[in-house]
A = this chain, B = another copy of it.
Amino acid sequence: MKIAVDAMGGDFAPEDVIRGSVIGAREYGAGLILVGPETRIKQEMAQWDTSGLDIEIVHTAEYLVEGEAPAYALRTKRNASIALAVKLVKEGRADAVMSNGPTGGVITAALMHLGTLEGISRPVAAGDFCGLTPRTVMLDIGGNMDCRPDQLLDFAVVGTVYARKLLNIPNPKIALLNVGVEEGKGNTACKEAYPLLKQSGLNFIGNIEGQDIATGKANVIVCDGFTGNAVVKYCEGLGRTIADWLAVELKNDLPQTRIQEISRKLLSQMIKADNTGGGPFWAVNGLILKCHGRARYPEIALTVGNAKRYVDLDIINAQKKELEAVRSRMRKTNKEDY
């Protein structure tokens, strides 16, 4: 099991990337291929105990920086660290790639060298984003803006795999986020997605409204990436607002230290992303994990663990199988091509 690491991605590269990767490699039993300037990488590696670890280096002097136009940058820097790292997965030399470089660059490299799963146009962003509802994943949460009905169906398929593999729910309940529960409600995409979801053979329970996002009624909540992004980030912001409100409300009830502890707990539930490491772009034809640019070494170590887990769970093939199963059912019930 080898993970290709873009050693030059993120605000604290290569220092934190290498430190975190080395910790993660030991902790989770993963091999590493570090991609970046060899001398610089060796210099960082020398500071940590790498004895007995399976670590290769692939040398390149080129890498992307924040603010570049991704497609242009990748065409002019053919040997950018992220490009070489992604190619290692394409060539079968690595099982997964991870980066905390610029999102646009990472996605573009993934699309150039790995592509998406058949019939899917762009990577899908998915997340069990709120610790208060640990058995619910929402998607898309920012990868796809104006969505067609068939994309919403694809999200349901990917979400089913996510819930089954990562949340251990054998037959996840799928719901369409909407403004009312009845069929026929909502925007154009929802109105047309509803019958597709009904025919899909997935465990579709119908529409849910916003008040049920946090109740656990559905295990997979399907929506366009604009709405999903708003909801996920709203949860984060609201966490801070409620923590502030609670601090005032509890001021005369409890000691400051206990209030701070409650705030911290609430925030860690509502802003989950910061302490669980990076996750994959779903629906890409290869395993690619992205951690945010400001990630420090503990998060990078966690991301190594996540990559290892996704490889072990055979996430890509599970998505391919589920997509094919749904499409074959749709072809049978529906004369039109799907």
Which A residues have a C-beta under 8 Å from some C-beta of B?
132-133, 142, 145-146, 177, 179, 186-188, 190, 209-215, 223-227, 229-238, 240-242, 245-246, 249-250, 253-254, 258, 262, 265-266, 269
B214 near A238 (CB under 8 angstroms)?
yes
Q: Separation in Å of the A81 CB from the closest CB of chain B?
A: 24
Cβ of A246 to closest chain B Cβ, rounded Å: 8
Closest to A265 in B: B249
Q: Which residue of B lies closest to A255 (CB)?
A: B253
Asked if B210 contacts A233 (CB within 8 A), the reply is yes
Given contacts A209-B229, A209-B233, A210-B237, 20 further A-B contacts (CB under 8 A): A132-B242, A145-B179, A145-B187, A145-B188, A209-B230, A211-B233, A211-B236, A211-B240, A213-B237, A213-B238, A214-B234, A214-B238, A214-B241, A215-B237, A215-B240, A231-B231, A245-B269, A249-B265, A250-B262, A253-B253
Closest to A210 in B: B233
Contact of A227 among B212, B230, B240, B249 (CB under 8 A): B230
Q: Which single member of B145, B209, B235 contacts A238 (CB below 8 Å)?
A: B235
A229: chain B residues at CB < 8 Å are: 179, 209-210
Cβ 8 A contact of A210, one of B177, B212, B231? B231
Bound together, the chains give a CA A133 to CA B237 distance in angstroms of 11
Closest to A215 in B: B237
A179 touches B236 (CB 8 A): no
Contacts of A212 in B (CB 8 A): 237
